[in-house]
Amino acid sequence: MTTNSKRAATTAAEPKPGSLIPFFDELEPKLAAILPADISAAKFVQMAKLAAAMQPRLQLCDRRSLSIALMQCARDQLLPDGYEALIQVYNRKGNAPPQASYQRMVGGWIKLLSQCPGVDGVDAQCVHEADEIAVTFDPKQSIDHRVNAKRDRGTIVSYWAQARLATGFFVKELLAESQLETIRQHSPAPDSPAWRDWRDQMGLKAALKRLAKRLPRWRDPATAPLPLPPRTAGDRREPANPEALFALESEALLAITEAEDADALQATWLQVVGEYANRSADPSAALLTRYQARALELQQADEPAGTGNAEGAGAP
């Protein structure tokens, strides 16, 4: 490769400032169809543009993965502001462009669980060696965690998460450092920057995820399929064909079953819905049932791993 061609290839791979702005503006109406009334699509898109400015490599991501990541974030009613949620960039093998992936942050988990029916409040904290903590099995008693601000707290030894129910009872989850280490060892990327640099945040998220499974009315938004983005009048559609639909359903059932994580499942579902829409049809009830069942399977399989693919790399 000549010097000029190398320079051209390097230049092509460099992020171009502002190159995502038209993409975000085009995506805004689709996000508006997902977001609740109290979160405007304009505000959400503004946060996405700010995230792209703070993370220039987002501009190199393939647009499909970025679109799915933002729609997943909107489905959860969280903002991609780095506190509630984060759009992370992952490199892929070969010459494939980087992929965007959606991650819930600690603030996002607390917000989601606080909105769970029957929950009045949620908190999560790290416990250090010098802290005093009392946890009882009495559902009427809150966790008693005391910190002596006059001395060094020492290293982190455990994590806790707690939900206060409308009934006055408390649901508590305590996670020891040894348990978190088991979670790390079973994670897809145990030596990632997230575990190396943000172990405390990973511990808090693991405790919050376990707490979620103990809340009687908790329903993870990830188990609900993303809605089909609005289609324009110019979209090409093939006429429905029973044999083609049968073949499509068989392929879709297999793809849903083989989805290895929640992100892959959402991407598969969007592709399935798009294929059906091209044939002027909707996914069958059997497909929707299988999708929901697979989402629950992946959610349950998260124990003891505690973290998904997206949380195995980058900031938590």
Whether 114 shows a pLDDT value over 50: the answer reads: yes
Phi-psi region of 82 (alpha: psi -120 to 50; beta: other; left: phi over 0): left
Give the per-residue pLDDT at 99. Answer: 85
Residue at token pair 């909107």: 74
Whether 274 shows a pLDDT value over 80: the answer reads: no
Whether 271 shows a pLDDT value over 90: the answer reads: no
- Comparing 267 with 132, the larger pLDDT belongs to 132
Mean pLDDT over 16-43 rounds to 85
- Rounded to whole angstroms, the Cα distance separating 242 from 246 reads 6
- Peptide linkage before 230 cis (omega within 30 of 0): no
- Comparing 48 with 261, the larger pLDDT belongs to 48
Lowest model confidence (mean pLDDT) among 124-133, 161-170, 246-255: 246-255
SS3 helix, strand, coil % of the chain, rounded to 5? 50, 15, 35
216 φ, ψ to 5°? -60, -30
- CA-wise closest residue to 227 among 76, 73, 45, 75: 75
- Comparing 284 with 48, the larger pLDDT belongs to 48
Task: Confirm if 141 and 117 have CB atoms less than 8 A apart.
Answer: no
Give this prediction's pTM: 0.71
Give the per-residue pLDDT at 306. Answer: 37
